[in-house]
Structure formats: C-alpha cells, structure tokens
Amino acid sequence: MPRTLQQLDYTNRFARLPGRFHSAQQPTPLPSPYLVAFNPDAAALLGLAPEAADDPVSQQVMTGNQVLPGHEPLSALYAGHQFGVYVPQLGDGRAILLGEARNERGEHWELQLKGAGETPYSRMGDGRAVLRSSIREYLCSEAMHGLGIPTTRALSIMGSDYPVYRETAETAAVVLRMSPSFIRFGSFEVFFYRNQHDAIRELADFVIDHYYPACRDAARPYQALLDQVIARTASLMADWQAVGFCHGVMNTDNMSVLGLTLDYGPFGFLDAFDPGHVCNHSDHSGRYAFDQQPNIALWNLHCFAQALIPLLDMDATIEALKRFQPLFEAAYGQRLRAKLGFAAQGDKDEELIVKLFGRLYQGQVDYTVFFRRLAGFIPGELNAPLRDLFIERETFDDWAADYAARLAQESRDPRERQAAMLRANPKYILRNHLAETAIRQAIERDYSEIERLRTLLAAPFDEQPGMDRYAALPPEWAQQISVSCSS
C-alpha cells in the first residue's frame, strides 16, 4: 500500500485535453505549513496509507509547496451564471488540479488544492482560502458523504500563519479535495458563449468517455449525456431537500456535471424548518433560498442544455428538460416516504406532508430533531418528545392522528419501520455552530474537534455513545454566526 503521495499512480487525463481547457499553473508555496486535518477514509479511496499524514513530502504536496514528478498542475477554465448573470470568464481562481491518481481498483481520483495561490483566473482574488472556510468544506463534504449524498471528498487541510484578509485578518489554509472530476456546467458554457462548438464537442466526448461510458452506446450520445446530467441533478436536489441542506451559491459554475455536491461555501443545514431559509448572507434577494433549490437546479440545467445545443436536437432537449420536475418529485417523494416510515406510496401522502411542513414551520420545529424522534412515534400515545418540539402542542396532535391513521394502512412491523426510519433520518448533521466550535479551537491550534466531528459525521445515522450533545438543538449563539460568499 502506498505510504506517500509520491507513490501513487498518476494518470492526469484532464491535463491531456488541449490547452484551451486549462492553464498550466504551479501552486504558490505557503510559509511554515502545519497539518490541520487528514482524512483516512479519503486516503483509502486512493489506496493511500493513513501514515501519509506524517510524511513530510506529502505534507508539502498537500500545501502546494512541492509538486511531484507525476503531477501536471493546472487550473481549469470555465464561466458561469452567477446570481442569474452570465460571467464570461471565471475558472479556477484559487484551485489547482495537481493530477489524477488511479488506485489499485482502477478508479481515478483528481487531486485538487483549494487555496494554493493565484491563477490566470483569479481576477481580483488573492488565490487563497482561509482556515475557517477550509474546515467547513472539509467537514461538510465528509458529512454529505456520510449522509449518502454524492459529493466531492476531502483528504486534508494544511494551515499556515500566512495572513489572508477577508472582513478581518485570518490565516491561510489549503484543502486537498478529491473528485472523479471537477467539470461544471460552466465548463461547457464558456465555449458556447465563445462560439467554439468544437470545444463543446471535445469536452462532451471527454465526459462521456470517462464518466458516462454507457452514453456512447446510445442512439444519440450527447442527448443521453444531457439526460444523465438531468437525472443526477434531480436526484441530488431530492437528497439536499430531504436532508435540509442549503448550498448557498448555486451558480452554474458550482454545478457538477457528475451530479456531485461541489464548492462548499456559505452552506447550511436547516435548524428550525423554514422553507424560505437563506443561508448565504450575501444572497440579498434570496435567489438561493432553501425551497428554491430544485427550481434553480432546473434553471441551471437550462444553461447547461443551451451550452450543449450545438450537439443536440432542440425538440428532444425541451422534452428532456421537462423530465426534470417529475424526476425530482419522484425522488423527493421517495425520500420523504422513507423519512416518514412508509413502505409504499399512499394517495394522500402529499397532503399529509404539506400539512406537516406547514406545522413544522409555524411551530419553529427543528427539522432534523423532529424526523429523528419521529422514528419513536407510537400511534395512539401522546408522543411528548415530538409534541414538545412545537410551540403550540395541539398542532402536532392533529397531524399525529392523521399520521397514525396512515401508518395503520400498512402492515409493516413497527420495529422494522423504526429501524428503517433511523436509517433515513440522521441524528447528526453539520450544524453551523458545530463547525464554528471546531474552527474556534483550530484557531487556537487545537485540531481535535475537527477529527471528532469528521468521525461523528461519517456515521450520522448511528447512535454514538457520549455524543448526544452533538445532536442537540442549536444554542442561542448559533444565530449570530454569519456565513457569506467571502471565504
């Protein structure tokens, strides 16, 4: 088993694409780096031994202070619609793809440094990421994976005392993140707006060959690719909505062509259920409010489809986009039924769910705590642990009667239902205040909370002894935490 990053087998397929897709870019070193976090689960995906964390050369590589012989560092070009407006040139402003490694099972993982210095696409940015947001990305990508939601992964965080200025002076950090690919909707848009249709075809062929090989056998491979991206995005939105995840910046440059959760910034999980929740303090109009996410995903898919239109048939494309909504609804319905413990679909389920969501909102009930406790619901009883979550307790009673009646329609064994519900409703999510506590300790050079949270959130559906405080309602001070695009 490789013990260091230098022993991995580098394949670098994205680097083989012609120069118009990327720019060669060496990372900029950081002074006196130190290890903040290392994730053995992500290391295992590479076939990398956990001891790589302590290897001095690997640490330099994870910081961007050293580039290995097999690496071909580059920044990718892309564009995107940001808050509804087309921005012609974005690209990796602070991300550098070191290379792509192939593990012993033949799986490929791209290794990317986030915050490793300026690139040709940095515009006014400094190419850096601060420790605070690096910890948030590292923890949330692993938390999403633990929840079973498609996402990029994170291998490590390296820190440095090098100052980085946001609203205040902070310090720099670099996350080494991993994904089969970081190609975004915006990676295609840039060539559509530049009228370079051959580049669109080249990139689409690359994506099909490496990530959607089954599309090659379809009658119309590019149409099949669009269908796949629509289906995966619909499924991802169902995952986000079901778990109460709010991305915060659903610009098309942050939308993965592989349907992964990508680019963690001002994200947040719902505390008290509020469909209009806006987690990003820079999002003044609420464009990316929680309940808007599926609509925005569809809007973004229109941008993606438009970029592919030179390869597509217009009528088939319109039909394909029309399939998003039913795909999303089917997937979301399925996840909600799992959360509610229903084995089959009932004809009044939607009504029951709409009623519940209305009451959760009115009652300012914590979304995650409610559903976790719902697993313990006993028909005909008071169910005080649930009832007490509502400001007006009676509003629960009335819904509970409907819910009990619905459960009675199924012959499912109550214990089996409870077990299934505990697998569908996480106990632990990365609430802002949990991340914030880990950040505050890390600023004081204590990194133990990051690792504690990572292992906790890797198994969010399990009861973990002694960890109940991590499943508690957010404290008062959590309301003062403000997350914005500045990271």
Instruction: Please give the Cα distance from 361 to 399 (Å, whole number).
Output: 13
Please give the residue ranges that form the binding site for Mg ion (CB under 5 A): 254, 263
Are the beta carbons of 433 and 477 closer than 8 angstroms? yes
Q: Which residues have a Cβ under 8 Å from the Cβ of 209 and sit 6 or more positions away? A: 216
Q: Using an 8 Å Cβ cutoff, are 119 and 91 in contact? A: yes
Considering beta carbons, is residue 167 or 413 the nearer one to ligand AMP? 167
Residue 253 annotated in active site? yes
Residue closer to Mg ion, measured from CB, 254 or 256 = 254
Contact 318, 305 (CB under 8 A): no
Q: Which residues contact 249 (CB under 8 A, 6 or more apart)?
A: 263, 265, 266, 280, 283, 288, 485
Task: Return the closest-CA partner of residue 194 out of 53, 99, 46, 77.
Answer: 77
**Distance (Å, rounded) from C-alpha 350 to C-alpha 347?**
8
C-alpha dihedral sign at 241, 247, 252, 255 = negative
Q: How far is the CB of 198 from ligand AMP (least distance, A)?
A: 24
Max Cα-Cα span within the chain: 67
Q: Which amino acid is at 473?
A: L
SS3 261: strand
Question: Of these partners, Mg ion, ligand AMP, none, which one is at the site of residue 359 (CB under 5 to 8 Å by kind)?
Answer: none
Q: Does 254 bind ligand AMP (CB under 6 A)?
A: yes
Query: CA–CA separation, 20 vs 89, rounded Å?
Result: 13
Report CA Rg, the chain: 23
The token duo for 118 is 């300026």
Minimum CB distance to ligand AMP smaller for 55 or for 137: 137
Give the span between the Cα atoms of 121 and 210, in whole angstroms: 26
Q: Does 300 bind ligand AMP (CB under 6 A)?
A: no
Pairing verdict, β 95-102 and 108-114: antiparallel
Catalytic residue among 92, 239, 253, 283: 253
Residue closer to Mg ion by CB (options 29, 93) is 93
Nearer to ligand AMP, 251 or 300 (CB): 251
DSSP 264-281: -SS-EE-SB--TT----T
Closer residue to ligand AMP (CB): 94 or 153:
94
Count the neighbouring beta carbons within 10 Å of the beta carbon of residue 474.
Answer: 17
Give min distance, CB of 247 to ligand AMP, in A.
Answer: 10
- Given the complex with ligand AMP, which of 246 and 320 has the nearer CB atom? 246
Which token pair is 63? 């910081």
Judged by beta carbon distances under 5 to 8 A according to partner kind, the member of ligand AMP, Mg ion, none in contact with residue 368 is none
- Give the footprint of ligand AMP on residues 348-377 (CB under 6 A): none
Q: Please list every residue from 89 through 128 that binds ligand AMP, using CB under 6 A.
A: 90-94, 121-122, 125-128
- Closest approach, Cβ 424 to ligand AMP, in A, equals 31
Stretch that binds ligand AMP, among 251-259, 312-320, 400-408, 436-444 (CB under 6 A): 251-259
Residues carrying an active site annotation: 253
Interface ranges with ligand AMP (CB under 6 A): 90-94, 121-122, 125-128, 249, 251, 253-254, 263, 265
